[in-house]
Amino acid sequence: MSCSNQKLEVMLKLIILLVALSFSLTALIPQNIPLSLYIHMPWCVRKCPYCDFNSHAVPDGKLSLDLEQEYLQALVEDFKTQIEFAQGREIHSVFIGGGTPSLISAQGYQWLFSQLKALLPFEQDCEITLEANPGTVEHDPFASYLAAGINRLSIGVQSFNTEHLKKLGRIHSNDDAVSAIRNAREAGFQRVNVDLMHGLPEQTLEQALYDLKLAVENGATHISWYQLTIEPNTVFFRTQPILPVDDVLEAIQEQGEQYLKASGFINYEVSAWRKEQPSAHNLNYWQFGDYLAIGAGAHGKVTQTDGVYRYQKTRLPKDYLAKVPAEHLQFKRIEDVEMPFEFMMNALRLNDGVDAKFYTQRTGLDLQDISETLNQLRDKKLLVADVNRIACTEQGHIFLNSVLESFL
């Protein structure tokens, strides 16, 4: 073999080695990424005027057993079409959202879980969260849900003030809300999240703080506390209720945070406060993990070896049930140019951010590609100095939107 041929062969081997090394650094390995499951239950007793979620008033004010069974069977068929996305993984966590998922019977959930687990195992101690509304007509006895395998409740209280509840279109009362939290704890639920909104129409500082006080004193172990925003395609967007002025909103935020901290709660995400462990399911979202999606309007995200994909299911329950199993709509790969923003939009919501190695592990991209942006934000004291973490400073959280725009 001539000297020139030998040199060419060595160069080719070197190129192949470099390509292989580069691929090994950025290859997507789905098995290294937790896989959760989101289940959407689309019905409510009544649609609330602020709600822009995929929810629909239940026919004749009550969910019939026939409709429940038809929908649960459709969920199982939907799940079967997504098993290939698991690629050897078990289900890390389950979140059942809505709508009002507690309109489905505990017996229905027990059947559903048995069917799903037979197709794809759940991890041991898998967190299974059910969203429930406080009204007695909106749920079975909480002990029945616990017996069915649900181990975390998220109760949609929103406010303990009866007048505010009326303005929000809620069908439960202050007493219903207090009873729901107490009943959940007495039924044996160790983990109870309470959803609360602030900045409600004509709400005072004192009223907002009293809402927090009642949640804490009645046994909430986790509080999702967020400001009401008026979204398009809602009744509130058309009617424009009178909201508190900015000074009041700032006082509510500041004093509410002080109260929660003094009560032993830790703020681990923009609107999430915990006295116990964080929500495993939401943490997986924010850490850019994967999640299957079943049910009308459900959104999923899955990692394949060739990229990260998002998809959704058809929105309307009647359309979802008309074609079983439901198709994946808009099954679309997240483009590399979009990935930094997509990742940061989730990760930087967490107060502690994420381990820097998650970026490459969960996007398939080299962290060096965004090192200049990261360093600029660190120099401006908007990201923490620790290069092994990607996290906002306190100042960075205040200007989070500007930080995120740096990755566009």
Q: What is the pLDDT of residue 74?
A: 97
Q: What is the pLDDT of residue 278?
A: 96
Q: Provide the 3-class DSSP secondary structure of residue 217.
A: helix
CA–CA separation, 396 and 402 (whole Å): 9
Cβ-count burial of 289 within 10 angstroms (0-12 exposed, 13-18 middle, 19+ buried)?
A: buried
pLDDT > 60? residue 25: no
And the tokens for 318?
């009647």
Read off the DSSP letter of residue 326.
Answer: P
Q: What is the pLDDT of residue 387?
A: 96
Percent with pLDDT over 90 in the chain: 70
Q: What is the pLDDT of residue 62?
A: 75
Containing 7, the helix (H) or strand (E) segment is helix 3-26
Q: What is the pLDDT of residue 168?
A: 67
* 296, 284 contact by CB (below 8 A): no
Q: Which of 95-99, 204-208, 242-246 has the lowest mean pLDDT?
A: 242-246
Q: How confident is the model at residue 2 (pLDDT cuts 50, 70, 90)?
A: low
Q: DSSP labels for 246-303?
A: HHHHHHHHHHHHHHHHHTT-EEEETTEEESSS--HHHHHHHTT-EEEEESTT-EEEEE
Q: What is the mean pLDDT of residues 201-222?
A: 94
CA–CA separation, 211 and 194 (whole Å): 11
* 165, 135 contact by CB (below 8 A): no
Q: Could you tell me how far CA 120 lies from the centroid of its own chain?
A: 21
pLDDT > 80? residue 6: no
Choice between 251 and 201, residue whose per-residue pLDDT is larger: 251
Q: Alpha helix (H) ranges present in 27-91?
A: 65-80
C-alpha to C-alpha distances, 280 to 127, 283, 405, nearest whole angstrom: 7, 5, 28
And the tokens for 29?
């390995």
Residue 132: HSE in the Cβ half-sphere, 13 Å Cα cutoff: 36
The pTM of this model reads: 0.89
Containing 214, the helix (H) or strand (E) segment is helix 205-217
Encode pLDDT of 241-273 as tens digits: 667 788 989 999 999 999 999 999 999 999 999
Encode pLDDT of 138-197 as tens digits: 577 899 999 999 999 999 898 888 877 777 666 667 788 899 999 999 999 999 999 999
Q: What is the pLDDT of residue 7?
A: 58
Class of the CATH domain delimited by 31-284? alpha beta
Q: What is the pLDDT of residue 161?
A: 83
C-alpha to C-alpha distances, 85 to 8, 238, 382, nearest whole angstrom: 42, 41, 37
Q: Which residues contact 169 (CB under 8 A, 6 or more apart)?
A: 46, 47, 48, 49, 50, 235
> Hey, where are the domains in the chain?
31-284, 354-408
Strands 354-355 and 389-390, by their bridges, are: antiparallel
pLDDT > 50? residue 18: no
Q: What is the pLDDT of residue 98?
A: 85
